[in-house]
């Protein structure tokens, strides 16, 4: 597994000339309940890119983008949001710059609030004749700081998890919560910042989840390359 930032400029040029793909982890800095770190979404995106690069040596992993559109988490200390427009513009300009070196660019976005900006940025880059793909990890069940993200973090960075502080939040299905979240943000439905129940999460479960998500990413890239 090779990270872009560890290489010299000539080293990058050589890898790019050989057909390297640049994978950009796109995350966020936002609350994830009382038990998970603010880096959770960024950690997931970076872990997926690292797993992809381990499976496909032609992939280089760019430094993660740690900020995104997290306005729905306003009111929780530590959340740093740059909004939809700034996120889109950041990714658009980043993509334009990356395309000067790399023939293919992959955004791996692990924060739901970034869906619109990353989709629009990728569409504009494609319209400018750049070869860009987007992967967004998806899983059934709890969407934010619940069992899934807690299990993933337990296998990625166990020292960052405070399971003794884990508490259940709003456990209603996401389809039922979406109108409330759009109107008033996460604070409107849960004082803990948690959507779901993280208390039963384990690292073993997280390892299986991460392996499955990584396999889905590898498959996505393989299909993109064939196309």
pLDDT in tens, 140-173: 888 899 999 999 999 999 999 999 999 999 998 8
pLDDT confidence bin for 178, thresholds 50/70/90: confident
pLDDT at 177 over 90: no
CB 67, CB 105: distance < 8 Å? no
Q: What pLDDT is stored for residue 197 in this prediction?
A: 96
Q: What pLDDT is stored for residue 9 in this prediction?
A: 98
CA geometry: angle at 114 spanning 112 and 116, to 5°?
105
Q: What is the mean pLDDT of residues 117-136?
A: 98
**Cα 55 to Cα 63: distance, rounded to the nearest angstrom:** 19
Q: What pLDDT is stored for residue 181 in this prediction?
A: 87
Residue (of 83, 11, 57, 76) closest to 221 by Cα position: 57
- Over the chain, what is the mean pLDDT? 96
State residue 159 phi and psi, 5-degree precision.
-70, -15
Q: What pLDDT is stored for residue 206 in this prediction?
A: 97
pLDDT confidence bin for 42, thresholds 50/70/90: very high
Q: What is the mean pLDDT of residues 175-186?
A: 87
Q: What pLDDT is stored for residue 144 in this prediction?
A: 95
Global confidence as pTM: 0.96
> What token pair was written down for 82?
């740059």
């Amino acid at each position: 597994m090779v990270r872009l930032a560890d290489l010299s400029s000539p080293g990058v040029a050589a890898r790019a000339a050989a057909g390297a793909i640049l994978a950009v982890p796109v995350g966020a800095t936002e609350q994830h309940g009382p038990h998970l770190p603010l880096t959770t979404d960024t950690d997931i995106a970076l872990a997926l890119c690292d797993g992809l690069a381990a499976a496909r040596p032609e992939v280089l992993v760019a430094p993660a983008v740690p900020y995104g559109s997290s306005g729905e988490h306003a009111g929780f200390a530590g959340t740093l949001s740059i909004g939809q427009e700034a996120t889109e513009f950041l990714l658009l300009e980043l993509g334009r710059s990356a395309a000067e070196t790399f023939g293919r660019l992959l955004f791996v976005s692990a924060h739901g609030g970034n869906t619109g900006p990353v989709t629009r940025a990728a569409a504009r880059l494609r319209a400018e004749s750049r070869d860009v793909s987007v992967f967004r990890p998806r899983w059934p069940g709890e969407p934010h700081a619940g069992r899934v993200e807690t299990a993933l973090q337990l296998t990625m960075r166990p020292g960052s998890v405070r399971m003794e502080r884990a508490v259940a939040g709003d456990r209603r299905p996401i389809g039922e919560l979406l109108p409330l979240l759009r109107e008033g943000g996460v604070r409107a439905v849960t004082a803990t910042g948690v959507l779901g129940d993280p208390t039963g999460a384990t690292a073993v479960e997280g390892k299986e989840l991460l392996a499955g998500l990584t396999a889905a990413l590898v498959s996505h890239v393989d299909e993109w390359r064939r196309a």
